[in-house]
Amino acid sequence: MKDVYLLSGFLGSGKTTLLANMIESLKEQGLKPAVIMNELGELNFDSQAVEEGIPLKEMLNGCICCTGSENTEAQIQGLLAENDFDVLLIETTGAAHPVEALDAVYSPLFADQLNIKGIVTVADSKRWLMRHEMTPQTRSLFLEQIRHAHLLLVNKADLLTEQELGQVTYELQALNPNALIVQTTNAKVPYSFLNKIQATARPTDIEKADIGHHLHLSSRLVDFTDQAFTQEEIEDWVRSLPETVYRMKGYLPIKGNSKPMLFQYAYGLTQWMPEFIKMPPKLVIIGDGVDAIPLPTTTL
């Protein structure tokens, strides 16, 4: 299993600085990093932050969450096929919504090779104090990046007074009580903090899950080998799910079909497509607390 970290945060908050620090920390631990950088422009000025010899893929033509997950899937598959690495660091553009970015990264094709550790959001603490000057759209994205973080860096601590820093930390923790929060200058975060987070629900977590536990944004891989459903049974199940299930995608075994069907769910809508290759019957579920939700059942 290869660990995957998604680096999120507003433009100029310190993501590239964090990336460079994380590469150093991982190497100190004897781990081999690989990097995917997602920049909005045609040219990636930040790629100099990644030293030679580290596997690097660049996605320059748009946001990881808008260019379509196929592109991200292809980049990850390329990295997995061509390189030997232990940890994948993905720097998203400042304009990426964290749920969309997680969705783009989590493909049923290689879900059993990747362990999504989580979203590390770099929050610019100075900008937080001036958030009322932002447009409502950018402020809302800023808030979403903070809300969905598993590890939250209150960065640029050097630019604030002690009192301001205390206030910002308190406000950010109130917005996301589940996140591990750490005050940083130049995004310097100890490896032990990074290693602590975990966004992929494992079978042992699911057995332990109870109400109030694991309310975080997380992903879960369900294997439907030796099972089959009708499309109606799946649609009924989808209607019974809480609104905190944001995305599902994968291949579902449908009675009467020799090959699992491609299934997608987003914003309350399902989409079905016949698949002509026999794909493994696996489904990825992304949402808050997905380890606790019941799975579909069949009557026959």
Ligand X SMILES: Nc1nc2c(ncn2[C@@H]2O[C@H](COP(=O)(O)OP(=O)(O)OP(=O)(O)O)[C@@H](O)[C@H]2O)c(=O)[nH]1
* Helix residue ranges per DSSP H, 202-294: 203-208, 231-240
Length of the chain: 300
Q: Tell me the closest approach of the beta carbon of residue 74 to ligand X, in angstroms.
A: 23
Residue count, binding to ligand X (CB under 6 A)? 17
Q: Which two tokens stand for residue 142?
A: 């800023």
What residues does 221 pair with on adjacent strands?
A: 284
Query: What is the distance of C-alpha 265 from the center of its chain?
Result: 17
Using CB under 6 A as the binding rule, whether residue 83 contacts ligand X is answered as no
When the beta carbons of 37 and 201 are compared against ligand X, the nearer one is: 37
Q: Quick check: 183 binds ligand X (CB under 6 A)? A: no
Of the two residues 41 and 294, which places its CB atom closer to ligand X in the complex? 41
Asked whether position 11 contacts ligand X by CB under 6 A, the answer is: yes
- Residue 3's closest CA among 81, 103, 118, 101? 118
Which range of residues in 12-20, 139-147, 193-201, 279-287 is near ligand X by CB under 6 A? 12-20
* CB closer to ligand X, 163 vs 258: 163
Residue 152 CB, nearest distance to ligand X (Å)?
14
Q: CB of residue 292 vs ligand X: minimum separation in angstroms?
A: 34
| CA distances (Å), origin 203, targets 2, 168, 209, 291 | 18, 36, 10, 8
264 SS3 class? strand
CB 119 within 8 A of CB 103: no
Using CA atoms, how far apart are residues 156 and 103, in angstroms rounded to an integer? 29
Please identify which residue in 6, 8, 17, 96 interacts with ligand X, judged by CB under 6 A.
Answer: 17
Q: Which position has the token pair 């660091």?
A: 89
Q: Tell which one of 3, 6, 8, 9 touches ligand X (CB under 6 A).
A: 9
Candidates 4, 5, 8, 15; binder of ligand X (CB under 6 A) is 15
- Which residue in the set 21, 25, 92, 155 belongs to the binding site for ligand X (CB under 6 A)? 155
Q: Stretches 107-115, 150-158, 208-216, 255-263: which one binds ligand X (CB under 6 A)?
A: 150-158
Any alpha helices (H) in 5-97, and if so which ranges? 15-28, 69-82
| Of 2 and 126, CB closest to ligand X | 126
Q: Bridge partners of 286?
A: 219, 247
Residue 31 burial (10 A CB sphere; 0-12, 13-18, 19+): middle
What is the largest distance, in Å, between two alpha-carbon atoms of the chain? 66
Q: One symbol per residue from 29 to 68: x for binding ligand X (CB under 6 A), - otherwise; what is it?
A: -----------------x----------------------
What are the beta bridge partners of residue 287?
218, 245
Contact range with ligand X by CB under 6 A, out of 7-15, 65-73, 251-259, 284-292:
7-15
Q: Which residues bind ligand X (CB under 6 A)?
A: 9, 11-17, 46, 94, 155-156, 158-159, 185-187
